[in-house]
Amino acid sequence: MTQLNDQELSILIAQQAGQLLLKLRDSYGDPATWDKEKATSLRKQGDRLAHEHLAAALAEHRPTDALLSEEGADNDDRLSATRLWIVDPLDGTWEYGQGRADFAVHVALWEPELKKLSACTVDLPAQGVCRAMSDAVADEPAFPTDRPVRVVASRNRPPVFLGPALEILGKTMAAAGITQHGCELIDVGSVGAKVNELVSGRAELYVHESGFYEWDVAAPYGVARHYGFIPSHVDGAEIEFNHTPPWVPSLMVSHPLIVDMARDALAEASRG
């Protein structure tokens, strides 16, 4: 095989893992026939299959790099690594086991000395969509003028103050002459699928305040930034990676036009 650069490798192995996940799920037949035991078995097998593929591919093509994977055994060796691949073999495991399309494979490269994400890929195999940092993008994402600002959040763990915050944000945008349509929540599964809603022009804001892991965040973070969105902690601080434990307390990804308004609205709502 011709030597691949980091981004080419990231795309290739993410898409390969995605196709393996689709083939495995298809082998289980019609999702309407699955009981809880069968769906659980599929989720576990999918997690392991995709992890094993990604780990083997990176061991072959980047044998000196470190790996942090949701399904792999963690160790402190990665803390001194100069290159760390952060992967989520199956982001949106629950959705995958429901037969839904909003699950993803995440692959990202973190360079600790540069404090830099690169080679980020979010593959959405059931949607036939792959987002990567090598994609050609417009100078700035479009902003809607004929509909509400759409906000994605966890369906199971939405931010406590999100409802009041969106009311505040809607009023602030109206006063600024940005839009009179307010905000609406939309239901999307994995982190990668949520960020894809933003970069596809179907949503403008993503908020998560209850914390999750670096493998959930890294690839979508890099892709969102590449597409012109502003990813950060909810308070605006930059997110860095390769911590012990690999925990990210919060995430906000926003269209640049409303990023400051969104942060202010969340802060005001949290104060009650």
Sorted by where each begins, the domain ranges of the chain are 6-132, 149-270
pLDDT of residue 159: 75
Q: Give the torsion sign (CA, 199, 208, 259, 11).
A: negative
112, 240 contact by CB (below 8 A): no
pTM of the model: 0.95
In tens, the pLDDT along 212-243 reads: 999 999 999 999 999 999 999 999 999 999 99
The dihedrals phi and psi of 123, each to the nearest 5 degrees, come to -105, 130
Strands annotated E in the chain: 66-69, 84-91, 104-111, 116-124, 129-132, 149-153, 183-187, 205-208, 212-213, 230-232, 247-248, 251-254
How far apart are the two ends of the chain, measured CA to CA in Å?
Answer: 58
**Region 134-141 average pLDDT:** 90
Res. 75 pLDDT band, cuts 50 70 90: confident
Res. 138 pLDDT band, cuts 50 70 90: confident
| 3-state SS, residue 132 | strand
Query: CATH assignment of 6-132, given 3.30.110.60, 3.30.540.10, 3.30.300.30, 3.40.462.10?
Result: 3.30.540.10
Of 255, 185, 247, the residue nearest 216 (C-alpha): 247
pLDDT of residue 160: 80
Residues 6+ apart with CB under 8 A from 20: 49, 50, 53
pLDDT of residue 139: 80
pLDDT of residue 187: 87
pLDDT of residue 164: 94
* Fold category of 149-270 in CATH: D-Maltodextrin-Binding Protein; domain 2 (3.40.190)
pLDDT of residue 154: 80
Q: Using the 8-state DSSP alphabet, how is residue 57 labeled?
A: H
**Region 73-82 average pLDDT:** 91
Give the chain's mean pLDDT.
Answer: 95
Written as six digits, the tokens of 16 are: 């390969």
Residues 7-42: b if buried by 16+ CB within 10 A, e if exposed: bbbbbbbbbbbbebbeeebeebeeeeebeeeebeeb
